[in-house]
Amino acid sequence: MDAIMSRERLIRKYFKQGLTRKEICITLAFNNAIHVSESTVKRTLRELNLFQRKQKSNVLAVALFILKEIEQSDSDGIQLRKRKKLRRRTYFSRGSNFVWHIDGYDKLKPFGICIHGCIDGFSRYLIWLRAWNTNNDPRIIARYFIDAIKDTKGCPTKIRSDRGTENGFVEQIQRFLRRNHDDVFAAEKSFLYGSSTSNQRIERFWGILRKECIQYWMDIFKLLRDELDAFSGDFLDKSLVRFIFMKMIQEELNDVSGVWNSHSIQKGHNHDNPVGKPLLLYTIPEYYGKQNCLCVTERADVRICDEETIALPQSPCDDIVYDLCLLLMEDNNWIYPSSAEDGIELYLNLRLIIRNNI
């Protein structure tokens, strides 16, 4: 009975991640050593009242959009390629966790919110996608990295990033964890700096993220600044933006990550690029003729590195502003907003009261 319940729980989990019945069978076999037929999965889903929609949902529409974006090349280089003056770079990876690409995204930084991401080079699986009040503190970026190491039970063979002081702790942690390994990419060679063009996996994703999510928030904040004249960029306004909108933005990033990791990558110009869903490519690369290149880390070493990072505090903004906002919301029976429109209203109300009493 326990085995059946465990199998049902896994089938439900993989179904929620957007896998088909066939993909669920494959994942159960590779990840959980559970061998069932596709008809068994179908019957179990029916018993759990889980059904795949026959009509295309919004999530699938987003996935189709992503596919289109992946297949398209940059418009500035089209003519150069036609004249054969520009050769397309070929990306090669031995498998999942061979290279992690990390980078910060600062389109919302003028409004007080910074985004940081990490993507697996082989599978294009998003390791993390986080929003916080800074990308400049190397201890914060290192916290993202340590959390990922704990989740995956190891570190990648290599990490690639652009040059920046915010990556210093990640560089030190990666090289420390890889110091005793004997492969050709161990120790100093396990962390690589390069230009943005060399970090193409994460850079391409940023373009898609802007269209799918960030442009909307850019427009919201520009509305506050340019049309409502209610954002000056000072300490208080950035703190209010963080207090009200940080949670909503992170929830949207989580949704984007879920859609991205379960969308289907189609065959492109580079025949070495894998075809499939990032989630499956990442978790069972053996099915696609590749290998999982995750490097084993010692728990004691991870604990040492963990002490060099800082845990994210409960408040995404200044503590005094945070406590004051909570007090004003309680006094006025205001609730935390569930939409951007409600967030704007709360922002304007809090800003007016606080500025009138400064």
Please report the pLDDT score of residue 86 as a whole number: 45
Please report the pLDDT score of residue 230 as a whole number: 97
Within 13 Å of residue 334, how many CA atoms lie on the same side as its CB?
19
Please report the pLDDT score of residue 2 as a whole number: 61
- Helical residues (DSSP H) of the chain, grouped into ranges: 2-16, 21-32, 38-47, 58-71, 78-82, 138-152, 168-177, 200-209, 215-222, 235-262, 278-283, 299-306, 319-331, 340-356
Structure confidence by residue, pLDDT tens digits, 143-192:
999 999 999 999 999 999 988 889 999 999 999 999 999 999 999 999 99
- Which tokens in the block code for residue 248? 């909503």
pLDDT < 50 regions, the chain:
55-57, 60, 63-64, 70-71, 73-75, 77-78, 80-81, 86, 88
* Helix, strand counts (H, E) of the chain: 14, 5
Alpha-carbon distances, residue 266 vs 36, 194, 241 (angstroms): 27, 28, 38
Please report the pLDDT score of residue 162 as a whole number: 87
Q: Exposure of 22 by Cβ count < 10 A (0-12 exposed, 13-18 middle, 19+ buried)? A: exposed
Dist CA 306 CA 311 (whole Å)? 9
Sequence spans of domains, the chain: 2-47, 55-212+250-312
Please report the pLDDT score of residue 191 as a whole number: 97
Please report the pLDDT score of residue 89 as a whole number: 55
Are 281 and 274 spatial neighbours (Cβ–Cβ below 8 Å)? yes
Please report the pLDDT score of residue 5 as a whole number: 66
Q: Within 10 Å of residue 75's Cβ, how many Cβ atoms? A: 7
For the whole model, what pTM was predicted?
0.82
Contacts of 174 (CB under 8 A, 6+ apart): 145, 155, 156, 159, 190, 191
55-212+250-312 CATH = 3.30.420.10
Structure confidence by residue, pLDDT tens digits, 250-271:
999 999 999 999 999 877 665 5
The residues facing 265 across adjacent strands are: 276
